[in-house]
Amino acid sequence: MNILVCVKQVPDMAGTFAPNTAGSWFDEAGLAWRMNEYDAFAVEEALRLKEQISGEARVTALSIGPARVVETLRKSLAMGCDEGVHIDDAEASERDPWQIASMIAGFAAGRGFDLVFAGMQSEDRGSAQVGVLLAERLGLACVTGITAFEWRDGAMQVERELEGGRKCRLGLKAPALLTCQLGLNTPRYPTLPNIMKSKRAALTILSPDLIGLEPPKTSSENFRPHEPNAAGVILEGDAATLAAQVLDILETKVSIPGLGGSR
């Protein structure tokens, strides 16, 4: 079995973010970087399947970005992936989901991948589009946001969350693409021997133009900090006083029939 898992390097969400000078994305200076949390579940599930069908599976990890994403690829190798592919693109943060999917599809097409695992979405952009666009480009069956996965006799049973806490169970066969939701599994910690081995592993490095980078479908017009909300109002006093204060606020801020006031 030939398995591809897509991983993205994202900034630590505990960092301090500010717009870049162009206002098109955030300024990357001074930020710490790590593997996208959703993608860690994808890597883990790919490795669990590899172990289940021992000796019959190979897992390739792919990441798009500048030189720093090599660190995330090497973590994938340390977790147990067999091969790392780096699409070296210094402008990856400016690419829209269509362009990211086009580059991955350019690599994956014709390589006979039976399964593709990806995170449901990235923690920074959060579009949740790359997986489904990639499935469409490769002509694969696709299930998004899976929370359970079972492989048996060449077929898969997966679960995904619906609204209201409901779950949907689906059956499908390879080839297919699955995007992974939080709670699917518990990603493993790389062992020290595997970490040392991953540092020596050779990576396949490709350029965006070589594998078919396409023009974008969308563009970022403005990236700005969230505008702070006004401070809350604390009301004090007995019940009658509080009721009068609330009524005064409603009359001032909200138009309610019978109370007057304005919006």
Which amino acid appears at position 255 of this protein?
Answer: S
Amino acid identity of 220? S
pLDDT in tens, 51-93: 999 878 999 999 999 999 999 999 999 999 999 999 999 999 8
- Residue 159 is encoded by which pair of tokens? 């679960």
Q: Per residue of the chain (263 residues), what is the pLDDT tens digit?
A: 999 999 999 999 888 888 888 778 888 888 899 999 999 999 999 999 999 998 789 999 999 999 999 999 999 999 999 999 999 999 998 899 999 999 999 999 999 999 999 999 999 989 999 999 999 999 999 999 999 999 988 899 999 988 888 899 999 999 999 999 999 999 999 999 999 999 999 999 999 998 989 999 988 878 777 777 777 778 889 999 999 989 888 888 765 455 454 44
Q: Which two tokens stand for residue 115?
A: 């399964």
CATH superfamily of domain region 2-211: HUPs (3.40.50.620)
- Both tokens assigned to 206: 């490709």
Rg (CA), the chain: 24
What pLDDT is recorded for position 262?
A: 46
Query: Rounded CA gap, 235 and 238, in Å?
Result: 10
Domain layout of the chain by residue ranges = 2-211, 229-263
Which amino acid makes up residue 69? V
* Adjacent-strand bridge partners of 83: 60
Per-residue pLDDT at 13: 87
pLDDT of residue 257: 52
Which stretches of 41-198 are assigned E, i.e. beta strand? 58-65, 83-88, 115-119, 141-152, 155-161, 167-173, 176-180
- Listed in sequence order, the residues at least 6 apart from 46 whose beta carbon sits closer than 8 Å to its beta carbon are 3, 5, 59, 81, 115, 117
